[in-house]
Structure 1
Amino acid sequence: MKQLQYLDLSWSNFSRSITPQLGNLTNLRSLDLSWNDFGGIPIPGFIGSMKRLQHLHLQNCHFSHIVPSQLGNLSNLQSLDLRWNYFGRIPIPKFIGSMKQLQHLDLSWCYFCGSIPPQLGNLTEVRSLDLSSNDFGGIRIPEFIGSLKKLQQLSLVDSQFSRIVPPQLANLTNLRSLGLSKNDFGGIPIPEFIGSMKQLHHMFLSRSNFIGIIPPQIGNLTDLHSLDLSCNSLCSGSLSPHGFVLESLKILDLSNNHFNGSMPDLRVFPSLTELHLSKNNFTGSIPVSISQLSELRVLDLSGNALEDSVPLSIGHLSKLQGLDLSNNSLEGLVSESHFSKLHKLRILNIASNWSPPFQLDRLYLVRCNVGPYFPKWLQTRRNLAILYLISANIRDEAPNWLGSMSPRLEYLFLSYNQIRGTLLDLSLTSIKYMDLSYNQFLGPLSLLPPNATVINLGGNMLSASMSSICKTRLQDLQIFDLSNNQLEGMVPNCWENMPLLWYLNLANNNFSGEIPGSLGSLDSLYVLQLHGNNLFGEMPYNLRLCQSLRLIDVGGNKLTGEISTWIGQMYEMIILNLRGNKLHGSIPPEICNLTNIQVLDLSINNLSSIIPDCFDNFTLLSSESISGTYAYVNTRFGGYETWEYAYSSFKWKGLCGDPLPMCLEDSLKLSTTNSRDNMNDNDGNIFSFMQEVGISMGFGFGMVLEIGSMSGLLSSYPNGDEAEMQVLELNEGAQSHGL
């Protein structure tokens, strides 16, 4: 090992200490200990004995206190990386200046303070120097940095430098990247000498208290790729097209300044991919010439005083992914012509008070940055039948007009936002398909749309009783999800009001009491999910009438009594989970009639240790090879999976658990989104079956159930004359949602 030259121990989960025997590796050229957690110990001094080291990487190792002086012996070191350690507000060690072969020095995020030792001026070979995110207490940038003429990358970001930018930096003619952001230079202009750094590719001067105009000398930086001057006090006249022409510039950020007047002729930046001019005071029209920025991906003109109409030429920016024109004084028509070629658009923010001139039948805004508020113009879309605002970054209370904005509204999809407040009374609406899941709705369950086929309210903060569902006969309801809320009280006993229900998910709430017998009236029920509540008593005898059931999950409750013999009559059952209850007695031999069963979990109960001989009847569970035989249950709701079982890629283990040999691992771990562990792992015996099986559950317009070669499809799709509908689609692949 003493001949070892390269040792990489990064990301190795080492902690607390470093063995001193590492110091015996005297031929080591490169040592990387980064991304370990050594718990605040100092850097070991013995590293200084590795005198042939050329590369030492100690970033994010949770070292602290001092940097040992023994490191000064590493005279051959070419790169030293100490970033993201905590050295307790000590000065940068002077001995680093003796490492004259250094080419790369990174001391960022080290909590150094005080002055910068002039000895660093001896590092004449250094190419990259990063002193960012330290606290140098308002000192000036040291002039000696200008003598490091081989520097290509210099980052002094967020290091509490102030007053002036030393003109000696003009000597850094090889500099490719300059970062001076987040310092306070006291209201001085941007130094003109920066224009002499003709090799610059990237310049970051944001949040540095610069004032005045952008010096025209920046036009000399013909290789500049990115320029960030945001969040300063730069003012009018700075964007004269005669000031500079930067054909290489790709990213320009001038946001949060004091520019006013008309927007400049942007043709001087023909290669731009990002243009940020927000929060200035530009007036007049958006220039038509903007269409010539054919490479533009992001355009942010928000927070100005722009007027007139949005030019149709914006619609020619076919590579545009983000467009923000909000908080201006724009007016006129915004039509589909503006968006017809913007196939890659992901983020659109026009204005909170913008009202489109067209009446939509369908609106799809999926993963578009519509928020944080509900678009007010939706209130006047009287013909809207389908509304998708999924993952739209809405962080607002649901407006009172939401349910009444359109008498034609049948599809309301608002999932994966942060919509607050109580649920609206939707009992007078025509909504048939509703997904409000994964928001922040709270309070009691309101009256539901009486004609609904699908209702998904999972993943909110609904509380109190759900007894209000008994006030409405939901005769068309097929899919009902209230999982992952805070509902409590007894599960209502009025399920005969939902005769077509085939999917019911009440998992992970605080329901108590007995499972209601009226569930037995649901002769179409495929899936019953009651996992993770506080239900007690026995399984209702009437449930045997639900002969279509493929999945029963009552795990993680407090059910008592014996396993009912009638379960053996549920011949279509694929998944049966009784895990984590207080069931007792023996396993009834009738359970062996479930010849289609693929997942059976009776563990963590108080069952006797006698296992029926007839378990050999489980042909699907007894075969190690199950190719061609599987259960796949998939329901889709708006293209989003809202919960899933974690039964995937299991290998056959046979029967295990007391009184048989110990299982190597818990065989079936049932998982739902935001699930709560409501099981007592100390209760009863543990035994279970395993077979390789992949099952995915979600919500949707349809359900696909395949058992071997058998498949069934239940689906509903929106009706209407396609030729008469106007559609605004701003999401990729809206057709994939079945519409």
Structure 2
Amino acid sequence: MVANSSSFMQQPLCHDSESSALLQFKQSFLIDGHASDDPSAYPKVPMWKSHGEGEGEGEGEGSDCCSWDGVECDRETGHVIGLHLASSCLYGSINSSSTLFSLVHLRRLDLSDNDFNHSEIPFGVGQLLRLRSLNLSNSVFAGQIPSELLALSNLVFLDLRGNPMLQLQKPSLRNLVQNLAHLKKLQLSEVNISSTIPHELANLSSLTTLFLEECGLHGEFPMNIFQLPSLQFLSVGSNPDLIGYLPEFQETSPLKVLYLYGTSFSGELPTSIGRLGSLTELDIRSCNFTGLVPSSLGHLPQLSYLDLSNNSFRGQIPSFMANLTQLTYLHLSSNNFSVGTLAWLGEQTKLTALHLSQINLIGEIPFSLVNMSQLTTLTLFGNQLSGQIPSWLMNLTQLTVLDLGRNNLEGGIPSSLFELVNLQYLSVQGNSLNGTVELNMLLKLKNLISFQLSGNRLSLLGYTRTNVTLPKFKLLGLGSCNLIEFPDFLQNQDELEVLFLSNNKIHGPIPKWVWNISQENLKALDLSRNLLTGFDQHPIVLPWSRLSILELDSNMLQGPLPIPPPSTIYYSVSRNKLTGEISPLICNMSSLMLLDLSSNNLSGRIPQCLANLSKSLFVLDLGSNNLDGPIPQTCTVPNNLRVIDLSDNQFQGQIPRSFANCMMLEHLVLGNNQINDIFPFWLGALPQLQVLILRSNRFHGAIGSWHSNFRFPKLRIVDLSDNKFIGDLPSEYFQNWDAMKLTDIANDLRYMQALPKFQIPGYTWTMPYMYSMTMTNRGMQRFYEKIPDIFIAIDFSGNNFKGQIPTSIGNLNGLHLLNLGDNNLTGHIPSSLGDLTQLESLDLSQNQLSGEIPLQLTRITFLAFVNVSHNHLTGPVPQGNQFTTFPNASFDGNPGLCGSPLSRACGSSEASPPTSSSSKQGSTSEFDWKFVLMGYGSGLVIGVSIGYCLTSWKDEWFMKTFGKRQRKLTRKERRGHRG
């Protein structure tokens, strides 16, 4: 290099001290190809040589560091002013004694994409006072960013992104911004900042680039940052607790890239967004934006990337999208759009990726797609598209991803679909497709790695004894494909990560070779809802070392409980015939989020070590087995438990007091055991508890007084029936159970559920778990396989409560079901029960109640079942509204009652004829089970239907198990349940 070509003077050689410093820096690292991720990475420092090392070189050439790869020198002074070692395969630690920090003339330092082995950024960096550019991104730094960095007041470019173990807290982001006032580019994505965004950022008038993705930012985003005069690139994505609103944009704004995805930005898109004439990329997916998409968005001529998905935009899908002729990527999925024309899609000739999932599309697959020959990705998942899969899809020859799942498509799969030879991902799951799919149709799809047929009426042919060489799948969905045995071709699938074979007719034992399928790679396996009976060879621990999800429920599996590997996160084996004890090996699953072993014949005690899993568990369901002994202590560590269901076993002793630590618990079901305890008032401290089922145990004593520290703030369903409780009904609880006072009517019927979400490499999973319970409704035990999330119920029947029914119960005007039957209650029926305007089922039978039935009860227009039989009630049965529909049996055993529907007229001295014993038990002839579930707000029989029709019996075994409970229990039988 020459400083001045006309002066015959060479650029000065680099200084010996700097050459020596660089060589010592080189010696402190290993060269490791895995230390850099960039495909173009190569080692730069091995060619650095001291004087005498470079044979055959000109004098001084080998030791002149200014000629070394990655080294930049000042042309006049010879000082090293730049070190460019990005992607240089450096591996090792670095500290402040490094000779690097003696290079005090450095202006540019780039060590990005190396591996510094979780070193802290050395405080020695503060010695490089001339630095204008510092890039340490993606280089495995950790710990707190040193305050000495704030001394680099000349910095214009700072990039520390991609070091998720790095922290910027002391100093803070505010300190950094205040001290580095000349910054033009600030990139801190994935650095742990965990703070608000300081308003001082808006003072950086030269800032062109601001990247703060996934930093733990919270609070409100300062709106005036959008107005920075030079800002071109802004991303604060993946900060879910960051809130904000979009400003009124000016035409002078130079913004080119705006990423707000995965934040809590909300409000409507301003019309002024159409002024951002330089905008090329807009990503606001997974925020809280609402309203219409403004037509001004169609005025952005440079826009090539647009993602509006996972918001609440409404209105028609905007046709002005046709004006965005530079679009290559468009994602509109998961919004509340109404149906509009998609003819404008024909104008989008440059689109390579189009996502239109879950946006209420109806009709056939839009023909306007036919000429989009550049498309590589097309997703139409989760709409109401109908008709057949069109053969013209074969025109889209570049497609690598085609997702038509969860629609209403009919007919067969056209053979032309298998002409799309570039396909890697093909899904038609969850439609109404029929016909056959032959394996040899896949021969042309050499690149196919994900194939989903599940949830149709298809039949797979040629899947056994075939010599066909099929693609190596990563995901394979063959649920509901009429399979009667495991497909033989799976034996050669050693790269499988996800395998769905649910809802088939695969019968008999699981063959031994199945355990060899993709042992090193399988992450999710679903064999549920088949006819499997056991295992050819029973493994103690299943062999897949990376398995995260295992579903074996609703089969006929016999023998001991299979134990998944320690990597398992979701394990369901409910509704089988498994026997024996629960092995302590199950506790090796230290990341388990759902464990459902319900409805088997497991016996013995729960392993004590299971309590250690409460840190990760969301759902623990061991109901309907033969387990016994005390319930082990649970929630002894901070935990995420939402559901504990131990019902229908033989547990004894008391409720563990450690349950008080289950602060996230929503659903606690302990019914039908032998628990001997007093009322667990201390559970009232749980802030999220909504369902408490203690029915059919040996609880005893009085409920006691309400206390403000134990107030059950969200309790909506409580069942204490068939125990030995005594004393007065808890009037103070009725006064203060605030969640039972809610009368909001939902527009759509939803169900109580846990939604554990987790990630395994390559996949994000949401695994809904529906809450269930057994309750008495209309004198019948009903199994609620799903619980509507607006259902509110109290069942205190079958105890020894005495005294009067408190008037305060009338405050719980959200109640749908109230059962106080089979106690020793006295006094009048309070007229305040007429305030329970949502009530559907009222049972006050078999008490000592007297006086008249309050006329106010006729105000309850939803009331579909009443039983006040076997009391000492007198006077006329109220007439009007629902009361005209109730049968005689509702009022039996009250000789003093008169009027319709009873045969004894009011004013008559003639005694009522005796009733049969069957009618005393509550006739169901007037209210059969064949009710149609009607939407809330529709008026009449919702309460009756809610108990039975929400139950969808899944198979014959399930009906045999629970069907025997669908009859009236006599008082004697109830007492027998309590032992």
Secondary structure (helix, strand or coil) at the match of 2:144 reads: coil
Q: In structure 1, what is the equivalent of residue 83 of structure 2?
A: 7
Q: Distance in 1 between matches of 2:280 and 2:492?
A: 45
Aligned counterpart for 1:315 among listed residues 394, 405, 412: 394
Q: In structure 2, what is the equivalent of residue 121 of structure 1?
A: 202
Residue pair 1:424, 1:446 contacting (<8 A) in 2 also: no
Q: In structure 2, what is the equivalent of residue 287 of structure 1?
A: 366
Q: Distance in 2 between matches of 1:398 and 1:436?
A: 20
1:229 aligns with 2:308: yes
Q: In structure 2, what is the equivalent of residue 656 of structure 1?
A: none
RMSD: 4.2
What whole-Å deviation, never above 9, does each CA across 1:41-85 have from its counterpart, x for those lacking one?
Answer: 4x43432332221211223443433541x4344343221112225
Residue 218 (structure 1) shift: 0.6
What whole-Å deviation, never above 9, does each CA across 1:701-732 have from its counterpart, x for those lacking one?
Answer: xxxxxxxxxxxxxxxxxxxxxxxxxxxxxxxx
Secondary structure (helix, strand or coil) at the match of 2:297 reads: helix
Change (3 A) 1:32 1:208: same
Q: Distance in 2 between matches of 1:25 and 1:381?
A: 70
What whole-Å deviation, never above 9, does each CA across 1:643-701 have from its counterpart, x for those lacking one?
Answer: xxxxxxxxxxxxxxxxxxxxxxxxxxxxxxxxxxxxxxxxxxxxxxxxxxxxxxxxxxx
Q: In structure 2, what is the equivalent of residue 78 of structure 1?
A: 156
Secondary structure (helix, strand or coil) at the match of 1:286 reads: coil
Residue pair 1:161, 1:185 contacting (<8 A) in 2 also: no
User: Residue type matched to 1:124 in 2?
Assistant: S
1:94 aligns with 2:179: no
Secondary structure (helix, strand or coil) at the match of 2:277 reads: coil
Secondary structure (helix, strand or coil) at the match of 1:56 reads: strand
Q: In structure 2, what is the equivalent of residue 215 of structure 1?
A: 294
Aligned counterpart for 2:421 among listed residues 340, 343, 352: 343
Residue 258 (structure 1) shift: 1.4
Q: In structure 1, what is the equivalent of residue 711 of structure 2?
A: none
Residue pair 2:389, 2:414 contacting (<8 A) in 1 also: no
Secondary structure (helix, strand or coil) at the match of 2:296 reads: helix
Q: Distance in 2 between matches of 1:112 and 1:404?
A: 51
Residue pair 1:216, 1:244 contacting (<8 A) in 2 also: no
TM-score by length of 1: 0.52
Residue pair 2:336, 2:360 contacting (<8 A) in 1 also: yes
Residue 39 (structure 1) shift: 4.3
Aligned counterpart for 1:143 among listed residues 216, 223, 232: 223
What whole-Å deviation, never above 9, does each CA across 1:468-509 have from its counterpart, x for those lacking one?
Answer: xxxxxxxxxxxxxxxxx99xxxxxxxxxxxxxxxxxxxxxxx
Q: In structure 1, what is the equivalent of residue 100 of structure 2?
A: 22
Q: Distance in 1 between matches of 2:183 and 2:93?
A: 28
1:134 aligns with 2:210: no
What whole-Å deviation, never above 9, does each CA across 1:400-438 have from its counterpart, x for those lacking one?
Answer: 834499xxx9997544324489998999x9xxxx99554
Q: In structure 1, what is the equivalent of residue 336 of structure 2?
A: 258
Q: Which deviates further from its counterpart, 297-306 or 381-390?
A: 381-390
1:273 aligns with 2:355: no
Residue pair 2:454, 2:481 contacting (<8 A) in 1 also: no
Residue 397 (structure 1) shift: 8.5
What whole-Å deviation, never above 9, does each CA across 1:172-209 have from its counterpart, x for those lacking one?
Answer: 622211011111134x1122222111111111101110
TM-score by length of 2: 0.40
How is 1:31-110 mapped onto 2 (pairs within 5 angstroms)? 31-34=109-112, 35-37=114-116, 39=118, 41=120, 43-59=121-137, 60-68=139-147, 70-83=148-161, 84=163, 85-87=165-167, 89-90=169-170, 91-110=172-191
Q: In structure 1, what is the equivalent of residue 839 of structure 2?
A: none
Give unpaired runs (5+ residues) of structure 2. Answer: 1-16, 19-78, 546-563, 566-979
Residue 87 (structure 1) shift: 2.0
Q: Distance in 1 between matches of 2:544 and 2:194?
A: 47
Q: Distance in 1 between matches of 2:331 and 2:350?
A: 14
Residue pair 1:251, 1:272 contacting (<8 A) in 2 also: yes
Change (3 A) 1:374 1:286: closer
Q: In structure 2, what is the equivalent of residue 192 of structure 1?
A: 271
Q: In structure 2, what is the equivalent of residue 173 of structure 1?
A: 253
Secondary structure (helix, strand or coil) at the match of 2:339 reads: strand
What whole-Å deviation, never above 9, does each CA across 1:304-330 have from its counterpart, x for those lacking one?
Answer: 001122233222111111111111011
Which has more strand, going by share of residues?
2
User: Residue type matched to 2:327 in 1?
Assistant: L
Q: Distance in 1 between matches of 2:281 and 2:340?
A: 27
Change (3 A) 1:163 1:397: closer
Change (3 A) 1:72 1:398: same
User: Residue type matched to 1:391 in 2?
Assistant: F
Q: Which deviates further from its counterpart, 83-92 or 202-211?
A: 83-92
Q: In structure 2, what is the equivalent of residue 391 of structure 1?
A: 473
Residue 94 (structure 1) shift: 3.1
Q: Distance in 1 between matches of 2:330 and 2:384?
A: 20
Residue pair 1:361, 1:386 contacting (<8 A) in 2 also: no
Change (3 A) 1:131 1:392: closer
User: Residue type matched to 1:32 in 2?
Assistant: D
User: Residue type matched to 2:96 in 1?
Assistant: I
Q: Distance in 2 between matches of 1:173 and 1:79?
A: 21
Q: Distance in 1 between matches of 2:134 and 2:439?
A: 63
What whole-Å deviation, never above 9, does each CA across 1:105-162 have from its counterpart, x for those lacking one?
Answer: 11222222434334333432222111222233221x2233234222221111133565
Change (3 A) 1:17 1:200: same
Residue pair 2:410, 2:433 contacting (<8 A) in 1 also: no
Residue 359 (structure 1) shift: 6.6
Residue pair 1:353, 1:377 contacting (<8 A) in 2 also: no
Residue pair 2:197, 2:218 contacting (<8 A) in 1 also: no
Residue pair 1:369, 1:393 contacting (<8 A) in 2 also: yes
Aligned counterpart for 2:239 among listed residues 159, 168, 178: 159
Larger RCO (CA under 8 A, 6+ residues apart): 1
Give unpaired runs (5+ residues) of structure 1. Answer: 448-457, 462-484, 487-739
Q: Distance in 1 between matches of 2:284 and 2:200?
A: 27
Change (3 A) 1:164 1:392: closer
Residue pair 1:32, 1:57 contacting (<8 A) in 2 also: yes
Change (3 A) 1:195 1:421: closer
Residue pair 1:225, 1:251 contacting (<8 A) in 2 also: yes
Q: In structure 2, what is the equivalent of residue 298 of structure 1?
A: 377
Secondary structure (helix, strand or coil) at the match of 1:94 reads: helix
Residue 302 (structure 1) shift: 0.9
Change (3 A) 1:72 1:372: farther
Residue pair 2:249, 2:275 contacting (<8 A) in 1 also: no
Residue pair 2:261, 2:284 contacting (<8 A) in 1 also: yes
Residue pair 1:27, 1:52 contacting (<8 A) in 2 also: yes
Secondary structure (helix, strand or coil) at the match of 1:7 reads: strand
Residue 102 (structure 1) shift: 2.6
Q: Distance in 2 between matches of 1:182 and 1:420?
A: 30
Residue pair 1:189, 1:211 contacting (<8 A) in 2 also: yes
Residue pair 1:124, 1:147 contacting (<8 A) in 2 also: no
Residue 233 (structure 1) shift: 0.8
Change (3 A) 1:400 1:444: farther
**What's the % identity of the aligned pairs?**
26
User: Residue type matched to 2:339 in 1?
Assistant: G
Larger Rg: 2
Residue 219 (structure 1) shift: 0.5
